[in-house]
Amino acid sequence: MTIRFNDETFRGDYTYHNSPEAIRRFPFPFDQDSYMYSVNIEPHAGGRAGSPFEKRFDVDEHYVSEMKDRAITLAEDPMRCQSLPHMDLAGWDFLELVMTSKAEDYPELFELHRDGDRWHWINKPMGIEQRFTFLDTTTLPCGPLEYITRQTQGDHALLDQREGNLWMDAGMITSQADWSLDFDIGMNFFEWHAPVPKAHEMGVFQRALKFLLNLQQGAPVRRLNWTMTVNPRLDTSPENYHKWGPEKRTITPETVGSKQYLRVELQTLWRLPRSNAIAFPIRCYLLSLEDLVSVPKWGRRLHRVLRDLPDELAEYKGFAVNRPTIVAYLAQFDDGEPTSPGIFPD
């Protein structure tokens, strides 16, 4: 295997860490020194070698530990994975997409052997080997969506298309930025985006929905989203706010570099072949401020973005209480020099 997987935790003692290589490949979300909501969708058709955009489903050093954390969350709250009855076929579509993608993109880690509807799946990092019949749920230990997303980094929503809208009718959500699948299940595109400030009056979601309703099979797209998190916790759900909410009040000028994290979501969208549903993987990446500023371009740019961000966006992103401390810390790393275009390090 070419990836060395970390042994780390995303709760309790928080031993999560990024290697130097992981820092450099972090999907920094700002391509300029300011930020405002936009559709910002581009084709998901590969990307720079070694970046999170290169493969269809990125697998990195955090893979095994993230899957262990998901199992902990599901043991505590099984409702983090739900699928309405009409979404079973979409679950099989998504299982096929992930298995074929991983086996082709990471042949040293995953294998998929198919003989008609008799499939044989091997996941070497997790020590899983499963023979099953495609489209026969009785041959898997759980439903197809749950089965494959217990082995796939990121959250995953399946969206049913009907009545000129998209409906969140299935998902595995254990590393979300303060939203609840149990609350949003069965909602349409505008309903689950209702809390987002500014974007509705700017027409962002109307344009996004129009685009997604016409998404074609074989032409996936991607975008980056971001927020801020205190400590490298994956499960920042409303259900567990009592665990992570108070941590926001633990930031000091001395600890902000190590405890404040930029949380970035690589969101991809895929038209599924049999069900015509849309798969919506939401892959979470975490980087502490002290690691982030080791890339000078990012330190300068993040300071300028957060310093000038409208107050309502800072509140929505969940870091308004710590914004002065964060901006003061980042100011030390902003020498006023221009930054180069794009998101990648110089």
Dist. CA 228–CA 248, nearest whole Å: 10
Q: Which residues of 277-290 are buried (b: 16+ CB within 10 A; e: fewer)?
A: bbbbbbbbbbbbbe
| Contact present, 70 and 254 (Cβ < 8 Å) | no
Dist. CA 272–CA 134, nearest whole Å: 16
Helical H segments across the chain, by residue range: 20-24, 63-76, 88-105, 144-149, 181-184, 189-192, 204-213, 241-244, 256-259, 289-292, 296-308, 311-316, 323-331
| Contact present, 93 and 272 (Cβ < 8 Å) | yes
Look up residue 142 and give its DSSP letter: S
Dist. CA 230–CA 318, nearest whole Å: 10
| Contact present, 281 and 99 (Cβ < 8 Å) | no
Residue type, position 196, single letter:
V
Dist. CA 6–CA 303, nearest whole Å: 30
| Contact present, 183 and 14 (Cβ < 8 Å) | no
| 222 is annotated as an active-site residue | no
**25, 56, 150, 223: which one is catalytic?**
223
Give the residue numbers marked as catalytic: 223
